[in-house]
Structure 1
Amino acid sequence: MQKNTQPNQLLLLEDVVNLGRKGDLVKAKPGFARNFLLPKKKAVIADKRTIRLQERLKEERAKQSAVDKKESEAFAAQIKGKTLKTNVKSDKEGHLYGSVAVVDIVKILEEEEGVKLERRNVVLPKPIKTVGTFEIQLRLKEDVPATFFLKVIGEGQIEEVKSRVKVKEEGAEDLSEEGVSEEGEPLPTLKEQKAEMRDELEERSKK
């Protein structure tokens, strides 16, 4: 006689990604149920005695869903239009050594906004590999959408500008009190030169 390999019917005690929500009746392969769902108390085997439990779980899920949706909408409004920044090692042309991936964005949001998201909440088709400003899409709990901007600043470009500022500072010692070159032409002040460097770095990060 052929062994019965039909999946077991289970009642989920909590949400399980790619399987179902709390209170749902689902079917799972015996190995997955035996080795993960049941020992982790994420589900129980469904029978006549679980009907009342299912009703209670669905009520709890409905209440939690309302809370989750409200919190997600509040965070979406909080971060809308914001630009967060991150410094990443790069070459002088703005190509990153490595990339900014989903896990990095999750960490940035936790550090800057105090919110802890799952990786699945970040919609990023492919890792970011260049400097610039990028629109990041999020899919929060209860499928609430959110967007913000992430400005990736290359540390290689920062070091280049710092080096040029240092050269300018050293060169300033050769200027006369009137701030003119050896040819007698007026030169910008050191403060103006630094501002020019900052503007250049800002412009590069937009590319």
Structure 2
Amino acid sequence: MSRDVEVVFTKEKKGSFTIGQKKSVKPGYAFNYLFPYNLAILNNSKNKHIIDSISKEAEKHSIELKKKAEDTHRIIDGQSITFQAKSHDEGKLYGSISINDVVSKLNIDFETVLDKHDIKGFTPIKELGSYSVHVVIHNDIRSELSIVVEKEIETEKKDSVKSKAKTSSNHSSDVKTYADDDSDNDSPVEDKKTSSESPTIDDTIF
């Protein structure tokens, strides 16, 4: 069995690894995926100067990430988002509220730039009620907000459909059809003959 190799990641992949992180991985994973795609390098003395440069980049990235987390925390911490969903009488949803649904609504409602890896400890919501969710962009900053799932009110839709049908009926009753009169107004056209008389010239010389 081949031994693991230690690598230093040169890029970040959310949910998997961060830039500057050192980790022991399987040789196949390193040589067939990480190295060909420039995602990591071997952690050895030969790459020391590159690793030092990566460490500086990682520190800069961490500062930027923390600032983003602080800005997001000020916007969403303590807030709530609401979903309306179809459900059975006992409160169970016909479908479920997924992590992608939550991320999408957060980004729309609060103009954030989050993805599913920023949401921690979430499981799909399958019943009506209130739930808590945690957003962790940076390990030092943790935001908490509420998710409220309400029953979709069907009567509002029915009233809307009835209102539209009534409006359509009123419009149709106002439409009148007029028959066009096909009367022939043929006026005879009289051709006027214009006679032009040429003057008579007397050629007699007196």
TM-score bucket (shorter structure): 0.5 to 0.7
Task: Give a deviation string over 1:48-101, Cα, whole Å, max 9, x none.
Answer: 231111111111111111111121012112112222122222234432111112
One-letter amino acid of the counterpart of residue 30, structure 2: A
Judge conservation of contact 2:99–2:122 (CA < 8 Å) in 1. Answer: no
Note the C-alpha offset of 1:137.
1.6
TM-score, normalised relative to structure 1? 0.66
Asked whether 1:84 is paired with 2:76, we answer no
* Change in CA separation of 1:16 and 1:71 when aligned onto 2, cut-off 3 Å: closer
State the alpha-carbon separation in 2 of the partners of residues 166 and 18 from structure 1: 46
Tell me, what secondary structure is at the counterpart of 1:140? strand
C-alpha change, 1:125 and 1:78, in structure 2 (3 Å) is: closer
The answer to whether the aligner puts 1:149 opposite 2:143 as a matched pair is no
**Is the 2:128–2:150 Cα contact (8 Å) retained in structure 1?**
yes
- 2:137 pairs, out of 117, 126, 140, with 140
User: Cα gap change, 1:8/1:18 in structure 2, threshold over 3 Å: closer, same or farther?
Assistant: farther
Match of 1:27 in 2: 24
Percentage identity across paired residues of the two chains: 24
CA contact (8 A) 1:23 1:55 kept: no
Counterpart CA distance in 1 for 2:78 and 2:15 is 31
What amino acid does structure 2 have at the position aligned with 1:104?
D
Q: Report which of the two has the higher share of helix.
A: 1
SS, match of residue 139 in structure 2 = helix
Cα drift, residue 164 of structure 1: 8.1
Change (3 A) 1:19 1:51: farther
Using structure 2 for the length normalisation, give the TM-score: 0.67
- Check conservation: 1:68, 1:142, Cα contact below 8 A: no
Q: Which has the larger radius of gyration?
A: 2
Root-mean-square deviation (Å): 2.7
> CA shift at 1:107, angstroms?
1.7
List structure 1 segments (4+ residues) > 4 angstroms apart after TM superposition. Answer: 16-20, 161-167
Q: Any stretches of 5+ residues in structure 2 without a counterpart?
A: 163-206
Q: Is the 8 A contact 2:122 2:133 kept in 1?
A: no
How far apart are residue 37 of structure 1 and its match?
A: 0.9
1:1-207 → structure 2 map (5 Å cutoff) = 5-16=2-13, 20-155=17-152, 158-160=153-155, 163=158
Contact 2:69 2:141 in 1 (8 A): yes
Q: Distance in 1 between matches of 2:100 and 2:140?
A: 20
In the aligned structure 1, how far is the partner of 2:16 from the partner of 2:116? 17
Partners in 2 of 1:116 and 1:88 — Cα distance?
25
In 1, Cα distance between equivalents of 2:123 and 2:18: 28
Is the partner of 1:23 in helix, strand or coil? coil
**1:104-145: CA deviations, max 9, x gaps?**
212222222222323232124532112233222222223420
